[in-house]
Amino acid sequence: MTASLKWKPILSAHKPYWSPKMGNLPILKSTEVVSVLRKLGFEEVRRRGSHIQFRHADGRGTTVPLHEGRDISPVLLRKIAQDIKLTIEELLQNR
């Protein structure tokens, strides 16, 4: 096979969930995430089962799972920060 026909990965335009710049993120309890969101001005608008939906007056919103005995993983923490249009650092400063 010639060099021009070798497989090349397709680069995605999506941002990766993990970046080496971020370092290690803390594992938070769901109650800690809920209190951070309330400090930031988010209000509970809906609760269905073990999930709470939060909205801010400017329209941002996210959902937080409240599973007994389970923590919020760093991946989910990044997703919550992305949903509310903050960086992880900004979110954790309000802890």
Q: Where are the domains of the chain?
A: 25-93
Residue type at 95 in one-letter notation: R
Q: How confident is the model at residue 95 (pLDDT cuts 50, 70, 90)?
A: confident
For the domain made up of 25-93, give the CATH fold. Metal Transport, Frataxin; Chain A (3.30.920)
Q: What percent of the chain has pLDDT over 70?
A: 76
Nearest CA to 31 out of 52, 47, 57 is that of 52
Phi, psi (deg, nearest 5) at residue 53: -100, 135
pLDDT in tens, 19-62: 445 568 888 999 999 999 999 999 999 999 999 999 999 999 99
| End-to-end Cα distance, the chain | 56
Q: What is the mean pLDDT of the chain?
A: 84
With beta carbons less than 8 A apart as the criterion, state whether 84 and 91 touch.
yes
**Residue 20: predicted pLDDT:** 46
d(CA 79, CA 61): 11
Tokens of 41: 């001005």
